[in-house]
Amino acid sequence: MTGGGRAGEEPDTGAVALFRRWVRAVPGRTALAHPGGRLTYAELDGRTRALAVELSRAGVRPGDTVGVTMERSPLLPVAVLALWTAGGAHVPLPASYPAARNLAVLREAGVRTVLTDREPDPAVLSGPAGDTVTCVRLTGRTLRAPARPPAPAAAPEHAPGPEDLAYVLHTSGSSGAPKGVRIPHRAVVNLAHGLQHVYGDLDGARVLQFAPFTFDVWIWELAMSLLSGGTLVVPRPDVPLHGPELSRTLRELHISHLSGAASLVATLPEDEPIPVTTLTSGGEPLPEYLVRRWGGRVRLFNAYGTTEAGVCATMGRCRPGQGTPGIGHPLPGVSVHLLDERGAAVPDGESGEVHIGGPGVGLSYLDRPADTRRHFVPDRFATRPGRLLYRTGDLARRLPDGSYLFLGRIDAQLNVRGYRIEPGEVEAALLRHPDVTAAAVTATRGAPDGSVPQPEPDSPPPVGGTDRLTAYVQAAPGATVTGAALRRHLAALLPAHLVPSSFVLVDRLPLTAHGKIDRTALAPPAVRRCAPPAGRDTAAPGRERDLAELVATVLGLDEVAPDDDFADLGATSLDMIRIQAAVTARWGTRLGAADLMDARTVRRLAALLDRTRNGARGAGTAPPGAGRAPGLPLPAVRTVKGGFK
């Protein structure tokens, strides 16, 4: 079964209708597997219909935007399918994001109902008179069969059409505020049909639910599984999904299809077997050494796309010995045009800006008419009136076989660890600090000696070498600004992936002749070459000092004090994986990622390693909810007391 319609045809239904075709075709097949059990396609359909009735009673109407503040769990796909069934569109509002950012998104998107899996914050924030947000709280009961399953006729049968809004996803914005992208159902359906065509084996596949809900790859995973006849597998929430822990999870859950950024793929141990038959890299360039490592063991694909154009536009199979990995051919139904600055097509072999067309292209940016006109332009190549081209700002070259080679960005947008980042958003947040007078943000590749390496294309990155977000900051005269203080300032305003790993304090930012920041003149952040300040502890001889030197090498620093917090030193999640791997290589002891994150300093890490090597328990995993950011504050919250309370 293909799920209805052939790949490349214009979608004539919404995502709910596509899901229900699989419900009718394979009702007894497992659709959703999770730590607490499983749901067949028929059972999942029953849960979504029942919840859709509750949402309609709570006031959700076709066309409404509905906030969703939930962590990764089996409740998420149920909530989204139910919301689509009721005719609404979801807007992610992660509890881990700063409350001010979520509130701005909530108001911009006109959200009046929020689905949550936690007790909502009762705080009443200032807003227009009469602002009321209805909060529907979901619990584990949502996954159990309702006492009286609604008859099909009793469930909302709005059957969202291809042009109806499916979701609004916010990306980093150059103006200093996130941009909401409006994506219709036709984009979701076209993605599912395209993936079915390219992979050819999604009917019955086991797809790991890996991506955060705020990332468009979450929709990709839904399209690969529940909209293609496969099984969406939700892992335990306390399991780190990288490195050896990810490899172990793949084996325990019998995962056949995994998608992630190249930096994630690089953490998979080369010497451990995995059941994955299809591995897809996307979001950042795929280096040749990973193709050599995995291309002969699994079907390895390199994918390219944007949030504004329906997640994925092109894909290509990668095999060892083929040279620099390309981004493949357009998915069925997708058109790709390389145009010059005048909008004319460039000859084959020359570089041009990538313009994406087809049913996957979004409707517009939310309340950003100028940005919409600039990036969503009329598609003069389309046969269907009213279609748009999305101007990506990416450069590519068409190869003789019709595939494409990604060449980089035209503008200042950055791509760090799979996230698209507008430097302007981070710079605007930095300028809100009272002691910062100017700021510039860019991506740097650091090596252990502080230099910017130029590795061979097929060589793995050096220890400690990875793309990092770096902020160059000019402070007010007489002000004392530290990297730790700036990191705390940004953490209250921005999601974690927008907080730089490195901060460089400069007397004056370099300017061009036109008075703009000269980003090409920004020097890479140098390592610290200074003696420890008076009174500052140094690592004790033995294991503690060895660990301090190891951590300093991974982070590219000259020295690390025993009580320095790794986060304050700019350590990323990938740095923690490298520390974990380096500890295993040095002492032969494999520490759990959760224990490593809980240790956070050299002194505590040394004590943890001593206890572990002596057979005692490690530092332990943080209790559920520890370190979790406060929940979403909602103006004038009204909590629904219904069957799903």
> Among residues 274, 218, 279, which one has the least CA distance to residue 244?
274
- One-letter amino acid identity for 545? R
**What pLDDT shows up at residue 419?**
74
Write phi, then psi, for 583 (nearest 5 degrees).
-65, -45
DSSP state of 521: G
612: left (phi over 0), alpha (psi -120 to 50) or beta: alpha
CA distance 248 to 239: 10
Instruction: Please check whether residue 288 is in contact with residue 323, taking contact to mean a CB–CB distance below 8 angstroms.
Output: yes
Axis crossing angle, helix 15-25 with helix 41-57, rounded to the nearest 10: 140
**What pLDDT shows up at residue 156?**
52
Burial class from Cβ neighbours inside 10 Å (0-12, 13-18, 19+) for residue 457 reads: exposed
**What pLDDT shows up at residue 165?**
97
Query: Could you name the CATH architecture of 543-613?
Result: Orthogonal Bundle (1.10)
Q: Tokens 């002000």 correspond to what residue?
A: 479
**What pLDDT shows up at residue 44?**
96
> Among residues 445, 44, 483, which one has the least CA distance to residue 225?
44
Distances from the Cα of 257 to the Cα of 48, 199, 294, 575, 593, angstroms: 25, 10, 14, 26, 23
pTM (2 d.p.):
0.76
Strand 637-639 to 364-365 pairing? unpaired
CA distance 175 to 154: 46
- Token pair listed for 467: 């793309």
243: left (phi over 0), alpha (psi -120 to 50) or beta: left
Instruction: Please check whether residue 600 is in contact with residue 575, taking contact to mean a CB–CB distance below 8 angstroms.
Output: no
Instruction: Please check whether residue 240 is in contact with residue 250, taking contact to mean a CB–CB distance below 8 angstroms.
Output: no
Alpha-carbon 26 to chain mean position:
31
**What pLDDT shows up at residue 585?**
78
Q: Tokens 């909810």 correspond to what residue?
A: 625
Largest CA distance in the chain: 76
CA distance 540 to 382: 69
Distances from the Cα of 33 to the Cα of 27, 43, 44, 240, 641, angstroms: 15, 12, 11, 18, 28
- Token pair listed for 348: 């084959």
Dihedral sign computed on CA atoms, order 405, 178, 15, 20:
positive
CA distance 554 to 551: 5
> Among residues 91, 140, 147, which one has the least CA distance to residue 118?
140
DSSP state of 517: B
Instruction: Spell out a b/e string for 418-455, using b for 16 or more CB atoms within 10 Å of the CB, else e.
Output: bbbbbbbbbbbbbeebeebebbbbbbbbbbbebeeeee
Share of the chain above pLDDT 90, in %: 41
CA distance 138 to 115: 7
DSSP secondary structure of 292-350: HHHTTTSEEEEEE--GGGTS-SEEEEE-TTS-S---BEEPTT-EEEEE-TTSPBPPTTS
- Token pair listed for 230: 């496969």
**231, β-bridge pairs:** 206
DSSP secondary structure of 28-81: TSEEEEETTEEEEHHHHHHHHHHHHHHHHHTT--TT-EEEEE--SSTHHHHHHH
- Token pair listed for 130: 């009469």
**What pLDDT shows up at residue 451?**
33
Q: In 3-state terms, what secondary structure has residue 152?
A: coil
- Token pair listed for 422: 């507008």
**What pLDDT shows up at residue 634?**
41
Dihedral sign computed on CA atoms, order 147, 151, 156, 161:
positive
**What pLDDT shows up at residue 302?**
97
- Token pair listed for 447: 């090596």
423-511 against 543-613: fold identical: no
- Token pair listed for 536: 């500052």
Q: Where are the domains of the chain?
A: 423-511, 543-613
Listed as ranges, residues in the chain with pLDDT below 50 are: 1-7, 123-130, 153, 155, 447-465, 527-534, 616-645
Question: Which residues are CB-contacts of 427 (< 8 A; sequence separation ≥ 6)?
Answer: 176, 439, 440, 441, 471
- Token pair listed for 291: 């193709």
Q: Does domain 423-511 have CATH number 3.40.50.10890?
A: no
